[in-house]
């Protein structure tokens, strides 16, 4: 690893808790591989201290920050500018230093799009199912609408939240793109086609790895590709059910990788090749 000196630029990730993060491993390897003089660290920020942390980071000359839970919405009022995609999604996970403060971006969703492409998942003109109706699901549905998906069915335990999300997305899109479906009504999916299904909840995340939003094997007969945004464990219960029904399945590790790569590209002005991305992936997620 290149020695840190007086010219080394600093970046990092802010969250609470933060000890589990893989971002330092991703970014420090990118810096080493590209020869960019940057060091990346994790900064735990306790409840109520986010504003002071952002002000302090700017005062210290920190080049950029990633923002993770629980601060992706709370950071927005503290920015000097926000990218239109991040504003539409309503969440920021990357800060880029500019004059007078930080500009906020959302690299999670562009990262997911690049992960889809690298994993060979084509969303164009597809009818897609999204499991969940929280902030992550909203961002996913907006991404799908902007990138050529035909339609989205939002399935959620709370049917009212699914209806609210579908209504909000359709209002922004100016068309009937999303439709809600309660979790007990998935047998009402029309026709007999198989769907790309994106799992956008925290159900099945470590340590509760034996759970899935939908357990019924009949549902998984309608899945042709399952994409779980969880990356720990590597194989989730949702993925196991997809595979048992003969569907391809993926976890969220490439999304995590590419959201970090896009942030790195913003900070450095560099372009990271898929070959380098694959090397980082093998080292960090092996």
Q: Which active-site residues does the annotation give?
A: 72
- Please state, as a whole number, how many other Cβ atoms lie within 10 Å of the Cβ of residue 139: 24
In degrees, rounded to 5, the angle at the alpha carbon of residue 146 between the alpha carbons of residues 142 and 151 is 75
- How far is the C-alpha of 249 from the C-alpha of 255, rounded, in Å? 14
224: phi then psi, degrees, rounded to nearest 5: -100, -30
**DSSP assignment of 175-198:** S--EEEEEGGGGGG--SS--EEEE
| E strand map for the chain | 9-15, 38-44, 64-67, 81-82, 94-98, 101-105, 127-131, 151-156, 178-182, 195-199, 223-228, 248-250
- How far is the C-alpha of 29 from the C-alpha of 84, rounded, in Å? 30
In degrees, rounded to 5, the angle at the alpha carbon of residue 216 between the alpha carbons of residues 187 and 212 is 115
Q: Which residue's entry shows tokens 């004059």? A: 99
37: phi then psi, degrees, rounded to nearest 5: -85, 80
- What letter would DSSP give residue 22? -
Both structure tokens of 27: 């970014």
Partners of 38 in the beta sheet?
9
């Amino acid at each position: 690893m290149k020695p840190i000196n007086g010219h080394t630029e600093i970046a990092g990730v802010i969250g609470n808790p933060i000890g589990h993060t893989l971002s330092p491993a991703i970014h420090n390897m990118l810096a080493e591989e590209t020869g960019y003089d940057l060091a990346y660290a994790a900064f735990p920020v306790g409840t109520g201290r986010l504003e002071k942390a952002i002000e302090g980071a700017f005062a210290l000359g920190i080049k950029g920050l990633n923002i993770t839970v629980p601060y992706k919405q709370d950071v927005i009022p503290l920015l000097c500018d926000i990218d239109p995609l991040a504003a539409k999604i309503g969440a920021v996970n990357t800060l880029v230093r500019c004059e007078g403060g930080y500009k906020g971006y959302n690299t999670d969703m562009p990262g997911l799009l690049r992960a889809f492409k690298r994993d060979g998942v084509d969303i164009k003109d597809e009818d897609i199912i999204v499991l969940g109706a929280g902030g992550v699901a909203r961002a996913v549905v907006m991404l799908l609408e902007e990138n050529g998906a035909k339609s989205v069915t939002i399935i959620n335990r709370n049917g009212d939240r699914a209806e609210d999300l579908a209504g909000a997305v359709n209002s922004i899109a100016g068309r009937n793109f999303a439709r809600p479906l309660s979790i007990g009504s998935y047998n009402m999916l029309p026709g007999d086609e198989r769907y790309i299904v994106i799992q956008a909840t925290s159900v099945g995340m470590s340590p509760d790895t034996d759970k899935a939003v939908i357990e019924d094997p009949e549902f998984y007969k309608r899945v042709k590709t399952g994409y779980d945004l969880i990356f720990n464990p590597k194989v989730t219960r949702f993925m196991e059910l997809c595979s048992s029904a003969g569907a391809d399945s993926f976890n969220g590790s490439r999304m995590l990788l590419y959201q970090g790569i896009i942030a790195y590209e913003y900070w450095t002005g560099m372009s990271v090749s898929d070959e380098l991305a694959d090397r980082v992936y093998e080292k960090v997620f092996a």
